[in-house]
Chains A and B, each alone.
Chain A
């Protein structure tokens, strides 16, 4: 019954890439800088989800360490950009 997991994980990964494209549209046409920051934060969350699905698809749990590092970097980057916007943003 592992074939069902393979097929479903391929489908789920395709839907996650579609969601990444939809969020990328907001990054391109976001009116202000915080819109783009939120969209990039969502894209990083989607990347963590893609890593999780890839872990299930390959059956190798080593990739979860990369997901931990990516979640940490997403939080630090969002906080740094929030402080940058608070200090005045781009000139």
Chain B
């Protein structure tokens, strides 16, 4: 029961992650959000399926090969996504209209409290 149960559980988990990656690449509004969906969730799905292979065959060679594929995906998927994202941004792909950048969120200025807690140092 044990190995069969874990094989089935890992296969179903990986397959659901794969389906989630495909739905994400279909539904997301932007290139970069689609890239998030495809890369990370796809890597999770492949890792689930490869762990299912490694559990189902108890063999040393098969387990090594499955973990090698998994390690290869864990190394190469972020590199490929980084290169595609950089190339796409440099070739001026249009961003999503809801994209906002806030690198250092400050407290809102419409409610000035008298006790200034964080005052910037003045020379």
Contacts and interface: CB of A to CB of B under 8 A. Distances in A.
Contacts, number: 162
B42 A56 contact: no
Q: Which of B16, B31, B50, B87 has the most CB of A within 10 A?
A: B87
**What band does the interface of chain A fall in when counting residues whose beta carbon is under 8 Å from B?**
35 or more
A91 interface: no
B106 interface: no
Secondary structure of the B contact surface, majority rule:
helix
Q: Which of A20, A53, A56, A88 has the most CB of B within 10 A?
A: A56
23 contacts: A5-B8, A8-B7, A15-B16, A16-B15, A19-B21, A34-B93, A38-B25, A38-B34, A41-B38, A45-B46, A48-B46, A48-B73, A49-B15, A49-B46, A56-B53, A61-B57, A68-B65, A74-B80, A79-B83, A82-B84, A83-B83, A85-B91, A86-B86
Which 3 A-B pairs rank lowest in CB-CB distance, beginning with the nearest? Answer: A19-B22, A34-B88, A82-B83
